[in-house]
Amino acid sequence: MKRPAFFFDRDGVVNVDPDPQPYVLSWDQWEWTPGIFDLLREVKARGFATVLVTSQRCVSKDLITRTDLDAIHANMQRDLGDLAFDAIRVYTGVPNDPVLPKPEPQMVFSAAEELDLDLGRSWLIGDADRDIAMADAAGVTHTIRVIGLKQATVTADYEVRELAQVGELLREILGPLPVAS
């Protein structure tokens, strides 16, 4: 049976938006968004697959190599431990990149095929219009926008100011967390 997924944008959701710099270029610049560990714990306890979908044009701008970016993601996965993402999809903008940029739904479709996901029962959390538009184009049923620095013109199903509100929202819509056996 296909399972639902929870798709996460990276900068501004998983890690603190590196504003005013547009990119995290090394692991020492990484700062976890408060509440991300609790949110990942909750969605995994609910049986969701977790997928990171991120645009990192810093590679095509020669600010960082793909190897360096992969190292940042490896450190992220290591720190997450049991909460690590089930899949990571990255658009870099390099010529002939097989991954298409947001709002194209290709990152979502690719993960759905690999992990046998039910997009009709899935969620996406992002902080930019292109995140929400990508989810809508892919048929992801529920979208959440983290209100922050980016102007919103595409409507999400829900809006939150901090990740703790997402857990509250899930409990309101999906009921209490299942009891571990």
Instruction: Provide the pLDDT for residue 151.
Output: 83
Q: How much of the chain, in percent, has pLDDT values that exceed 90? A: 90
Confidence of residue 103 (pLDDT cuts 50, 70, 90): very high
CA distance 16 to 34: 8
**DSSP notation for 10-25:** TBTTTB---TTSS---
Instruction: Provide the pLDDT for residue 22.
Output: 87
- Residues 140-156: tens digit of each pLDDT: 999 999 998 778 899 99
pLDDT at residue 1 is higher than 90: no
Q: Domains of the chain, with CATH numbers?
A: 5-174 (3.40.50.1000)
> Quick one: tokens of 154?
């595409």
Instruction: Provide the pLDDT for residue 85.
Output: 98
pLDDT at residue 181 is higher than 70: no
Segment holding 107, helix H or strand E = helix 106-115
Q: Please, what is the average pLDDT of the chain?
A: 95
Residue 170 vs residues 36, 43, 50, 143, 167: alpha-carbon distances, Å: 14, 9, 15, 12, 5
Cis peptide bond prior to 20, omega within 30° of 0 = yes
Type of residue at 113: E
pTM assigned to the model: 0.95
